[in-house]
Amino acid sequence: MDSARDPMSPPIQAPAQFQAPQAGATADARFDVVLAGSVFFDIVFTDLHGVPSAGTEVWADGMGSTPGGIANLAVAASRLGLTTSLASVFGDDVYGRWCWELLEEHEGIDLSRSRRFENWHTAVTVSVAQHGDRSMITHGHPSPISSDALLGDGISSRTALTELGVMSSLEQEPWWLRAAGQGTRIFADVGWDDTGAWDPAVLEPLASCYAFLPNEREAVEYTRTESPLAAARALAAHVPLVVVTCGKDGAIGIDSATGEEVRVPAVPVRAYDATGAGDVFGASFVLGTLRDWPLEQRLTFSALCSALAVQQFGGSLAAPGWGDIADWWEATRASGDADLIRRYGFLQDVLPPERAGAVRRAEATFRLVDHFPPGRHSLSGGQGPAPRDENPVG
């Protein structure tokens, strides 16, 4: 079953509190999306010649450097044309400067609520991608300032994306809860519970959320149900929109206001790196919601964008832009795949007219000499202009 044309049954009974759509109190907001969290400097190694073991050295044929953490979501949203503001903390090291400049200057993300701190270094993650999975090593320190402090006086945004689980109940009031009270629509997901408790209290803040987008394992564990569909139906009693992502099995969506249930299949691709795929799905779903697309179309579009992301190594920089989506659509039409052409026919109406200049993925690289002040080159320690090295480090 792959569309709303074949609705799942029996349909849920729409809760009374979700019968009316949420008021558009933020129609004139400055941003489409606001989010807050930690940015990591990610170094990703691919195509290893073997498995590292004690006392050995293993070479990798591929390497990339990207902003990670909350940057995955920020880049995914901005690539789709959503005006995006990020509140985060950056170190004064070269990694922090590179992440800041890439996000602000190259990805067009607003960092007016972010801060740079001296003598505090950016968290670093080394990720090894092998056999369809990843191993990671991370080093970092607690942030010198909280997200609540960065966004304490509020910010004008149509939506906010956040993660439940960092608070245990409504006794605490995070920045996004205050934003919800001002009309911002909150799209939430939830982190993995490595304690195995899956405490339902984590979901209490759903009462202030507009949409909840857990993966199938998280949804089933938190609701104590036996299937993603049963979990989605249980969650639909608490939040207007529920989307449960099911990996290679696609996604399930329920609109509690109408009682509509939709299941869409995944797009068949060869997956190399799933880093940030959930963030891409979430950003794509926000875009479709802000454009008032039907639920089926939102889910179908989000499934495509996340599929395009996993075909590339590179975390945040693998997030597709409209140029990548246009390229896929042209290739799909040329392939004659009748099912995909039918399901994604709506792209013809939503793709930007100027496709040649549309945003596309960026290469995950790091040119160290680009991030020293003019006239100084720390690699040599000398004065004068730094040489322009056309080859990225790594």
Please state, in angstroms and as integers, the Cα–Cα distance from residue 18 to each residue in 256, 333, 338, following that order. 6, 39, 37
Please state, in angstroms and as integers, the Cα–Cα distance from residue 37 to each residue in 142, 145, 194, 379, following that order. 12, 11, 20, 32
pLDDT number for residue 237: 95
Task: Report the candidate in 98, 143, 114 with the shortest Cα–Cα distance to residue 35.
Answer: 114
* Total-model pTM: 0.83
pLDDT number for residue 44: 85
The single-letter code of the amino acid at 310 is V
pLDDT number for residue 362: 57
Q: How far apart are CA 113 and CA 90, in angstroms?
A: 11
Domains and CATH numbers, the chain: 31-349 (3.40.1190.20)
pLDDT number for residue 311: 84
In tens, the pLDDT along 196-233 reads: 999 999 999 999 999 999 999 999 999 999 999 999 99
In tens, the pLDDT along 26-64 reads: 667 899 999 999 999 999 888 888 888 899 999 998 888
Residues 222-247 as b/e (b if ≥16 CB within 10 A, e otherwise) read bbebeebbebbbbbbbbbbbbbbbbb
Q: How would you write the pLDDT of the chain (394 residues) with one tens digit per residue?
A: 444 433 343 444 444 444 434 445 566 789 999 999 999 999 988 888 888 889 999 999 888 889 999 999 999 999 999 999 999 999 999 999 999 999 999 999 999 999 999 999 999 999 887 766 678 899 999 999 989 899 977 889 999 999 997 554 444 568 999 999 999 999 999 988 889 999 999 999 999 999 999 999 999 999 999 999 999 999 999 999 999 999 889 999 999 999 999 999 999 988 777 777 899 999 999 999 999 999 999 999 999 999 999 887 767 888 999 999 999 999 999 999 999 999 999 999 999 887 555 666 655 555 443 444 443 333 333 333 333 333 333 3
pLDDT number for residue 165: 73
